[in-house]
Structure 1
Amino acid sequence: MWPGVLAKFPSSLVPLCCCANFINAADRVIMPIAILGLAKEYKYGLYEQGWILSALPAGYISSQIVGSCAGAQCGGYVLLAFVVLMWSLSTLMTPMVAWSLQLLILTRVVLGIGEGLGLPTIYHLFAEDVPANIRSTAFSYLTAFGSIGQVVAVVVGAQICPHLHWSFPFYIFGGLGLIWCVAWVRYSRYLPPCLPDQSLYFVKAPNPFKQWRTFFCDMSMCSVYLAHFCMNWTSYVVMHWLPVYLHVVFRADPSALSLTCLPYIFNSLFGIGKPLFLNLLVVAVVGHFADSLVNDRRLTLLYVRKLCTTIGLLGPALCLTFFVTLNHFFAAILTVSLSMGLLAFNSAGHLSSHADMCRKYAGVSFAISNTIATLPGLVVGPLTADFVAQSSGRWGPVFVLAAAVNLVGAVVYFSHASTKPVI
């Protein structure tokens, strides 16, 4: 598995960063599964459970921009090792402090802060050290491994928590994070063991705060932020409300609801080229497609970015519009899974634009984008509940709104996108 990846990429940087994102994504979805057993053991009611679940996003959204600026100033190699260690220790400690609501919430906030630092740091590393001709492939792998991590965590948690103990997934994935830290130091060719030259660890870039006006006022940058916001709107609607929708509309039982992991499988399969369990680390379909179009000079880099973003936003919009008209359970599952699969095209679209336009500040621009794109996670829940209540239990407006949001994002990005460096 590893040799194939190392032959494709010039160093172990990309596969190790993808594995870090695998663990990152897995750690996020453990608590929603484990909280049933946790709440039963420590007598936490719905109010306390709400605080526990919302603690991670609070930490996540607060750390993006600050962490990315730190990565740009002192280099991303040491910072990435630190944040993976940080969120892994937080994951391991979760069962140990679960007896105290305050300590548990604090641990979850620290976990969110660590995970919020992760992706901007990886974006900074990819922009600095991954050649442009394979950059789309690298970002597609990064996206695919995140989806795979969510699938694995959901399956492992669903199998372990009811039969063993709710704490086991925290120990498993927290331990994987510690193993990753050892592998990062051992295999990364950018981390010499004896530290002969501090400059290899701390590659200082100019202060990103001096460029704040460009980050927020350049229209091409704003189009990237909007596309990311629209993509995440769809993701949060599906992630938060698909099980409820299937239960209410199709009267799906708990065993059938396990199929809600299919959208994440589709998302990862659209990001990689061969069956998931045969060979994870192969050429990413979307990324390889985008890179080949550019390298063969069939299309310009700008047109490839626009094409992939258009497919990644309009494709899910069409699927969601069709999804609400379906009356068959499995047809609905396949349609919403296809919508999540098409979202993977964004990895070679606007998600790669940060490295094109802000090479030295890719981590900072992605952090700004990811902060804005996390906002749907805070509003989709109450807004969806309000829509359903005001429409007498109809779910159509929820998914039609998501489709409309995607349409706006696609039009704005296509009109204003750029691949020219702006900073």
Structure 2
Amino acid sequence: MDSLEGSNSGKRESTNPQEEEGKKQPHQQVKRFCSMRYAMAIMIHCCNLIMCTQNFSLSIAIIAMVNHTGQSNQSNVSTNGYPDATADTGVPVYDWSPEIQGLLLSAILYGSLITTVPGGYFAGVLGGKKIAGFSMFICSILSLLIPLAADYGLGYLFVIRIVQGLLQGMNYSALCAFWPKWAPPLERTQLSAIGTSGTTMGNFIAILAGGFLCESPGWPSIFYIYGGIGCVYCIIWFSLVYDDPINHPLISDSEKEYITSSLTEQANSPTWSLPFKAMIKTMALWAILVGNVCRFWLISNLTTSLPTLLDNMFDLNFEKNGFLSALPLITSWVSMTLGGYIADFLLSKKILRLITVRKLFTFLGMFFPSLFTVLIPYVDSTTAIAFLILASTMSTLCYSGFMINPLDIAPRYASFLLSLGTAFMVISGLISPVITGYFISQDATGWKNVFFLSSAINLLGMVFYLIFGQTDVQDWAREYKITRF
């Protein structure tokens, strides 16, 4: 870890905005809370929260949508023209096979994979406000139409879910475009963590509220409520959100000066060109991408496969226990937010160097989850649940490690690179369940192999980043002033 720091020490003075900021202190730092930059982080947090509830809503509602309890003796009951409606709630119930359900749930994932990287590219050049706002608005409208589409037929529902995936991929990528212009280097990790943690809080709210809404007034209310909230929030979004602090009418002059002055050393002006060849040759970038793949391989198993294991090994239905399902999400939200604050505190007080902070949080966010995961098959049910929660919680510390690293090495292309990392995570999430299914179909020890493989892959990503991770702005990401004719 330290060898890489020494190899780049000769150019650290001019290439690390965070450390340059801490050394020079050329301007007075204005208050953090009740500031416009933290208000922007909260706005982005709420946007992520709303989009995530719309994403996850079908995962909750589909349990009630295919529930055939009591249907055999109510076969000739028809409610409001819906096919196979239940007599007690008056909402439709559909005869979808497990394969169809799986395709419906994954449709949004395939859609987001298509637009994540292009969305990050265009948001980096054009700004994120309009892309994020319009994608959220259309996605919210489509959420309102899901009950009607399900009634008309599976084809309509598939189309809506795929289009929602396309929009959500654009939305997440567009939100990444705000940080190079709004986040001062010494507050970058915390602001980004506040915004990104909205995804975790969105899942938390969807799980807790979804069960109650399915019972009364019925599963369609999930889509109406989340879609309606999204439409209303779009009005707030377009009124209060701006792509940069310079044009924001409500920001104070002192805060505007603080943000713009702290970012003067960074090259983050928009550009249509992308130095693909230089990017491909950069090991610091590959360290981030490999880390994303390896971490999400473990996380996808923690959130999908391991609950099934707890049901099989300990006769504990983890998925249907709303509290147990939501607990890792709220602890992860706390860990992500607190980790960002601690990381920036260590930087602002000059306790640790930037590269050390990034690698420290990467180590904490990948080593201990691997350790907890590999121990799960050898402990009792209570300890297994504790290890599962600890693994999910500590993994979010990576958001203060390698996952925010694109803002360090290439602030000019941060939106594109962050989106590229997300795309690699999605690919990992698509492959991981297939490999997991293969192992558990072999023999009784298949689950242990899943644990060992997931932990080993996660550790591989950690080691790769510790060796090749950097924080210096790369040569291809610097902006050189040239004369144009």
Question: Do both share a fold (TM > 0.5)?
Answer: yes
Q: Normalising to structure 2: TM-score of the pair?
A: 0.78
Counterpart of 1:414? 466
**Cα offset, 1:164, TM superposition:** 2.8
CA distance in 2, matches of 1:309, 1:145: 21
Counterpart of 2:420? 368
**Cα offset, 1:248, TM superposition:** 0.7
Q: Normalising to structure 1: TM-score of the pair?
A: 0.89
Counterpart of 2:52? 25
Counterpart of 2:19? none
Preserved CA contact (<8 Å) 2:343 2:400? yes
Q: Residue 351 of structure 1: which of 388, 398, 403 is its match?
A: 403
1:267 matches 2:332: yes
Amino acid at match of 2:298: T
1:325 matches 2:378: yes
Q: Where do residues 17-416 of structure 1 align in structure 2 (5 Å cutoff)? A: 17-40=44-67, 41-99=93-151, 100-188=153-241, 205-208=270-273, 210-253=274-317, 257-258=321-322, 259-271=324-336, 284-327=337-380, 329-392=381-444, 394-416=446-468
Listed one character per residue, the Cα deviations across residues 190-246 of structure 1 (whole Å, up to 9, x for unaligned) are: 5769xxxxxxxxx972114x3112333311000001111112112110111133112
Listed one character per residue, the Cα deviations across residues 226-279 of structure 1 (whole Å, up to 9, x for unaligned) are: 1111121121101111331121111124786331222212211212xxxxxxxx
CA distance in 2, matches of 1:158, 1:330: 24
Aligned length: 397
Preserved CA contact (<8 Å) 1:140 1:344? no
CA distance in 1, matches of 2:198, 2:418: 18
CA distance in 2, matches of 1:172, 1:393: 44
Amino acid at match of 2:418: F
Query: Which moves more between the two structures, 247-256 or 303-312?
Result: 247-256
Preserved CA contact (<8 Å) 1:16 1:184? yes
**Cα offset, 1:120, TM superposition:** 1.8
**Cα offset, 1:144, TM superposition:** 2.5
Task: Go from structure 1 to structure 2 and tell me whether the alpha carbon gap of 1:291 and 1:204 turns closer, same or farther (over 3 Å shift).
Answer: closer
**Cα offset, 1:412, TM superposition:** 0.6
Q: Which of 1 and 2 has greater Rg? A: 2
CA distance in 2, matches of 1:396, 1:290: 34
Preserved CA contact (<8 Å) 1:243 1:257? no
Amino acid at match of 1:212: F
Query: Which moves more between the two structures, 71-80 or 56-65?
Result: 71-80
Amino acid at match of 1:165: G
**What is the DSSP-based 3-state SS (H/G/I as helix, E as strand, rest coil) of the residue aligned with 1:418?**
coil
**What is the DSSP-based 3-state SS (H/G/I as helix, E as strand, rest coil) of the residue aligned with 1:364?**
helix
Runs (4+) off by over 6 Å? none
**Cα offset, 1:157, TM superposition:** 0.8
Task: Go from structure 1 to structure 2 and tell me whether the alpha carbon gap of 1:257 and 1:216 turns closer, same or farther (over 3 Å shift).
Answer: farther
CA distance in 2, matches of 1:171, 1:332: 37
Amino acid at match of 2:146: T
Counterpart of 1:196? none
Amino acid at match of 2:65: L
Listed one character per residue, the Cα deviations across residues 103-125 of structure 1 (whole Å, up to 9, x for unaligned) are: 10010011111111122211111
Identity rate of aligned residues, in percent?
23
Query: Which moves more between the two structures, 332-341 or 138-147?
Result: 138-147
Listed one character per residue, the Cα deviations across residues 82-136 of structure 1 (whole Å, up to 9, x for unaligned) are: 1211222222221121122111001001111111112221111112221111110
Larger helix percent: 1
Gaps of 5+ in 2: 1-30, 68-92, 250-267, 478-485
Gaps of 5+ in 1: 194-202, 272-283
Preserved CA contact (<8 Å) 1:308 1:346? yes
Task: Go from structure 1 to structure 2 and tell me whether the alpha carbon gap of 1:236 and 1:253 turns closer, same or farther (over 3 Å shift).
Answer: closer
Amino acid at match of 2:48: N
Amino acid at match of 2:228: G
Preserved CA contact (<8 Å) 2:120 2:176? no
Instruction: Give the alignment's Cα RMSD to 1 decimal.
Output: 2.1
Task: Go from structure 1 to structure 2 and tell me whether the alpha carbon gap of 1:239 and 1:362 turns closer, same or farther (over 3 Å shift).
Answer: same
CA distance in 2, matches of 1:381, 1:22: 25
CA distance in 2, matches of 1:395, 1:337: 18
CA distance in 2, matches of 1:165, 1:381: 31
Listed one character per residue, the Cα deviations across residues 281-318 of structure 1 (whole Å, up to 9, x for unaligned) are: xxx31111111111111111111001111111111011
**What is the DSSP-based 3-state SS (H/G/I as helix, E as strand, rest coil) of the residue aligned with 1:7?**
coil
Preserved CA contact (<8 Å) 2:43 2:195? no
Preserved CA contact (<8 Å) 2:207 2:325? no
Task: Go from structure 1 to structure 2 and tell me whether the alpha carbon gap of 1:257 and 1:24 turns closer, same or farther (over 3 Å shift).
Answer: same
**Cα offset, 1:60, TM superposition:** 0.9
Task: Go from structure 1 to structure 2 and tell me whether the alpha carbon gap of 1:215 and 1:66 turns closer, same or farther (over 3 Å shift).
Answer: same
Preserved CA contact (<8 Å) 1:21 1:119? yes
Counterpart of 2:85? none
Amino acid at match of 2:94: Y
